């Protein structure tokens, strides 16, 4: 063990009483109960024996503090034992996890974990990456992920012969660790446009690689590796635009590989299945995004995955899948899974603006999928994430005809014409303040999108087979922040011209960070843009976690009195009333898009 019996400067010594035995035991229990199926890199009995030396070995101490920090920040584990009395504070697990993460970084300086690395130091780096990822500190997250993959190269984990020198238990955990880094690096490369360093140069783990495991979680883990395995240096280079030789046949083949990467029935834990299904649909969207960037889509293509409307099918599939998952099975994957859902919803939003109005208002369609995404994002972690308000803002900007009228500034002309007399939702899916469907030229919008994305296809119309279950769908958009401290950008489906028109190129346009209005003004508790305070985007997630509960309980303010009609159940008619300026309460969990008829707003 590195660090044993080594002299440590007092300033780098472990903090007495910070890491208690009860905390270690509870974090180990939580890890193997909730996280082990998707992160099967530790052996419980050996880890518990190693934890007995936490007071004497610096490297073990750092492993345990990073493990506990990772459990509190990513899956949101409550504070074990609450030794500092933080449990009653908002965001207590984040605060406690951050303290343990900083303890790891400080104590780790007391020994050289780079010149003589071990499996323990590599896992510590991976846990630190997970902590920074959960806190939206993506420069530091990338640094520690890259540190982990570099240590894997130093330890020779990219060579098959390396694993022959260890016993079966140690060899199996090292092999799984390499493939976990393989998957993590690819997911992060697509989210943040980073390069790859690990390749598929060793054998996959097998179910019998550790005879001491009663029910090894290897089947689901291998499925996860196979889902990400097609995304090699070629795809990442195309995604990062360092090469341009992208062909429709390559993209179509990749979509087929993704479709066939998972069986219809998965013999895995619920949390494993949730990650597998969401990741699969997210990757389908990433491929679709690359297709539209390279002008490979056409509304008349025989392959549904190469059409503009493919995200509708992806969204349908994903909403159907997630409806069968418990919140706990999705929340243990942290903010990473929420971001993937957000990416899918963004692509759906962009495509939804191009689709014609459905002829049958009672058939489930794309707008219903968008409603479900909003409800899902508001329910996971109680909506304490930055992606829900970002999606609402995107819906408001891209789909002004579909967004709730209470999220928009009431037009001056409407104020003088009795807004209550205007049927916002006319019963046929037309939410355009009385705008008829014929006034919305779908083919023109499709052509504009094709021109914006440099598409050379002759696009005349979009296939709107929303209920055709033989078509394919894909999701994903670029993260709302591609680089730390950079301005937010819209997903790649939108070119620079459209981005400028919608205001997605500047973080200042995201009014929820200012307390400005989305329509008529957000809850004033969300007051400031961290960039204007001399900070960075790194602080946006903690701010949103603390304040989103109050944000979700309020509607935007109205700038003037508005006349409305309210349904009276006793009489079966409508009573005319007036909503004064100010905030209006929003029932918890209410879908915000095209679903207000039951409240009496017409």
Measured between alpha carbons, how far is 33 from 23 in angstroms, rounded to an integer? 15
Residue 502 and residue 509: Cα distance in Å, rounded? Answer: 9
Place of tokens 């899974």: 337
For residue 452, the model assigns a pLDDT of 53
The mean of the pLDDT values for the chain is: 73
Give the pair of three-digit tokens for residue 555: 């509607």
* Highest-confidence segment of 220-229, 293-302, 549-558, 577-586: 220-229
Query: Which of 84-88, 196-200, 213-217, 250-254 has the lowest average pLDDT?
Result: 84-88
Q: Are 405 and 423 in contact (CB under 8 A)?
A: no
Is 124 a domain residue? yes
* β-pairing verdict for 573-579 and 562-568: antiparallel
d(CA 54, CA 104): 13
pLDDT, tens digit, 9 for 90 and up, residues 290-308: 999 999 998 888 999 999 9
Q: How many CA atoms lie within 13 A of 453 on its CB side?
A: 26
Percent residues over pLDDT 90 in the chain: 52
Q: Is there a domain that residue 323 lies in?
A: no
Q: How far apart are CA 478 and CA 490, in angstroms?
A: 7
pLDDT, tens only, 435-464: 333 333 333 444 455 555 444 333 333 344
Is the pLDDT reported for residue 489 higher than 90?
A: no
Q: Select from 265, 273, 261, 372 the least CA-distant residue to 332.
A: 273
Nearest 10 degrees: CA dihedral of 408, 409, 415, 419?
Answer: 10
Sort residue 163 into left (φ over 0), alpha (ψ -120 to 50) or beta.
Answer: alpha
Q: Does 225 score more than 70 pLDDT?
A: yes
Q: What is the pLDDT of residue 92?
A: 79
- Give a yes or no: residue 300 inside a domain: no
Which band of pLDDT confidence, cut at 50, 70 and 90, is reported for residue 530? very low
- Cα–Cα–Cα angle for 308, 378, 338, rounded to 5 degrees: 60
Stated length of the chain = 602
**Domain contains 571:** yes
Q: List pLDDT tens digits, range 98-155.
A: 999 999 999 999 999 999 999 999 999 999 999 999 999 999 999 999 999 999 999 9
The Cα 248–Cα 421 span in angstroms is 50
pLDDT at 77: 87
Tell me the pLDDT band of 75, cut-offs 50, 70 and 90. Answer: confident
Q: Hey, is 577 helix, strand or coil? A: strand
555, part of any domain: no
As beta bridge partners, residue 578 has 563
Helices and strands, number each (H, E), in the chain: 20, 2
pLDDT at 574 over 50: no
d(CA 222, CA 228): 10
Read off the tokens for 85: 């009395």
Rounded Cα distance between 136 and 74, Å, is 11
Question: Regarding predicted confidence, which is higher, 541 or 131?
Answer: 131
Indicate the residue among 207, 235, 252 that finishes a domain: 207
Distance, in Å, from the CA atom of 132 to the CA atom of 402, rounded to the nearest integer, reads 36
Domain boundary among 167, 188, 207: 207
- ∠ CA 300-305-310 to the nearest 5 degrees? 85
Tokens of 362: 């009672």
The upper half-sphere exposure of residue 137, i.e. CA atoms within 13 Å in the direction of its Cβ, equals 17
- pLDDT score for 90: 62
Q: Give the integer Cα–Cα distance in Å for 355 and 399.
A: 11
CB 334 within 8 A of CB 77: no
Task: Please say if the pLDDT value at position 593 is more than 60.
Answer: no
Helix (H, G, I), strand (E, B) or coil at 385: coil
Q: Does residue 87 fall inside a structural domain? A: yes
Per the domain annotation, does 528 fall within a domain?
A: no
Least confident of 31-40, 177-186, 196-205, 490-499: 490-499
pLDDT of residue 207: 84
Total number of domains in the chain: 2
**pLDDT greater than 50 at residue 276:** yes
Is the Cα torsion angle 194, 200, 201, 206 positive or negative in sign? positive
CB atoms under 10 Å from CB of 454, counted, come to 11
pLDDT at 34 over 80: yes
Cα separation, 252 vs 305, whole angstroms: 7
The pLDDT value given to residue 559: 37
Cβ-contact 77, 71 below 8 angstroms:
yes
Q: Which residues contact 211 (CB under 8 A, 6 or more apart)?
A: 168
Q: Is residue 334 part of a domain?
A: no
CB contact set of 438 (below 8 Å; sequence gap of 6+): none
- In the listed set 148, 181, 207, which residue is the last one of a domain according to the structure? 207
CA pair distance 468, 478, nearest whole angstrom: 27
Cβ atoms of 452 and 498 within 8 Å: the answer is: yes
Beta bridge partners of residue 575, listed in sequence order: 566
Q: What is the pLDDT of residues 372-411, one digit of tens each?
A: 999 999 999 888 888 999 999 999 888 775 544 444 444 4
Better pLDDT: 135 or 583? 135
Inter-residue contact 158 to 199 (CB < 8 Å)? yes
Q: How many CA atoms lie within 13 A of 397 on its CB side?
A: 22
- Of the ranges 145-149, 172-176, 329-333, 547-551, which one carries the lowest mean pLDDT score? 547-551
Among 558, 561, 526, CA closest to 544: 526
Phi, psi of 95 (to 5 degrees): -65, -45
pLDDT band at residue 25 under the 50/70/90 scheme: very high
HEC string for 465-517: CCCCCCCCCCCCCCCCCCCCCCCCCCCCCCCHHHHHHHCCCCHHHCHHHCCCC
* pLDDT, tens digit (0-9, with 9 covering 90-100), for 247-268: 999 999 999 999 999 998 998 8
Q: pLDDT at position 335, please?
A: 93
On whether the CB atoms of residues 58 and 3 are closer than 8 A, the answer is yes
CA distance 54 to 61: 5
C-beta of residue 477 within 8 angstroms of C-beta of residue 493: yes
574 is in which domain, residue-wise? 562-599
Q: What is the DSSP string of 140-209?
A: HHHHHHHHHHHHHHHTTTTSGGGGGGS-HHHHHHHHHHHHHHHHHHHHHHHHHT------S-SPPP-TTS
């Amino acid at each position: 063990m590195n660090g044993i019996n080594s002299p440590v400067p007092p300033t780098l010594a472990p903090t007495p009483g910070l890491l208690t035995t009860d905390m270690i035991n509870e974090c180990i229990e939580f890890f193997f109960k909730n996280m082990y199926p998707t992160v099967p890199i530790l052996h419980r009995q050996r880890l518990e024996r190693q934890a007995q030396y936490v007071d004497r070995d610096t490297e073990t101490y750092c492993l345990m503090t990073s493990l506990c920090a990772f459990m509190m920040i990513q899956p949101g584990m409550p504070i074990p034992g609450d030794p500092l009395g933080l449990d009653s504070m908002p965001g207590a697990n984040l605060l406690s996890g951050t303290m343990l993460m900083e303890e790891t970084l400080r104590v780790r300086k007391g020994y050289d974990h780079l010149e003589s690395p071990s499996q323990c130091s590599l896992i510590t780096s991976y846990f630190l990456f997970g902590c920074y990822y959960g806190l939206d500190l993506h420069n530091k997250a990338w640094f520690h992920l890259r540190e982990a993959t570099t240590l894997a190269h130093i330890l020779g984990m990219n060579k098959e012969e390396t694993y022959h020198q260890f016993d079966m238990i140690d060899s199996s955990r090292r092999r799984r660790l390499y493939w976990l880094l393989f998957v993590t690096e690819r997911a992060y490369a697509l989210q943040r446009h980073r390069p790859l360093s690990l390749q598929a140069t060793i054998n996959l783990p097998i179910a019998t690689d550790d005879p001491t495991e009663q029910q090894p979680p290897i089947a689901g883990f291998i499925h996860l590796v196979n889902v990400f395995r097609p995304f090699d240096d070629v795809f990442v280079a195309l995604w990062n635009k360092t090469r341009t030789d992208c062909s429709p046949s390559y993209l179509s083949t990749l979509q087929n590989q993704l479709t066939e990467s998972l069986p219809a029935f998965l013999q895995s834990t619920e949390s494993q299945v949730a990650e597998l299904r969401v990741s699969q649909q997210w990757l389908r969207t990433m491929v679709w995004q690359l297709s539209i960037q390279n002008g490979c889509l056409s509304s008349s293509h025989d392959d549904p995955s190469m059409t503009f409307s493919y995200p509708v099918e992806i969204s349908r599939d994903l909403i159907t899948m997630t409806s069968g998952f418990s919140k706990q099975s999705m929340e243990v994957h942290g903010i990473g899974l929420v971001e993937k859902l957000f990416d899918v919803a963004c692509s759906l939003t962009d495509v939804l603006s191009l689709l014609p109005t459905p002829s049958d208002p009672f058939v489930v369609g794309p707008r219903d999928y968008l409603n479900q995404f909003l409800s899902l994002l508001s329910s996971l972690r109680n909506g304490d994430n930055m992606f829900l308000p970002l999606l609402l803002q995107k819906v408001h900007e891209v789909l002004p005809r579909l967004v709730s009228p209470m999220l928009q500034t009431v037009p001056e002309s409407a104020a003088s014409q009795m807004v209550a007399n205007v049927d916002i939702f006319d019963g046929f899916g037309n939410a355009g303040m009385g705008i008829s469907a014929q006034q919305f030229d779908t083919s023109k919008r499709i052509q504009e999108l094709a021109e914006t994305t440099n598409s050379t296809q002759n696009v005349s119309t979009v296939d709107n087979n929303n209920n055709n279950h033989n078509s394919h769908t894909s999701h994903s958009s670029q993260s709302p922040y591609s680089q730390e401290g950079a301005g937010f950008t819209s997903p790649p489906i939108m070119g620079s011209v459209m981005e400028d028109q919608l205001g997605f190129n500047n973080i200042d346009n995201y009014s929820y960070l200012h307390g400005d209005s989305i329509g008529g003004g957000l809850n004033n508790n969300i007051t400031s843009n961290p960039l204007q305070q001399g900070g960075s985007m790194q602080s946006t997630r903690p701010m949103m976690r603390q304040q989103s509960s109050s944000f979700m309980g309020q509607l935007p303010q109205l700038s003037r009195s508005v006349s409305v009609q309210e349904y009276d159940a006793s009489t079966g008619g409508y009573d005319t009333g007036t909503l004064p300026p100010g905030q209006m309460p929003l029932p918890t969990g209410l879908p915000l898009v095209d679903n207000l008829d039951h409240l009496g707003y017409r």
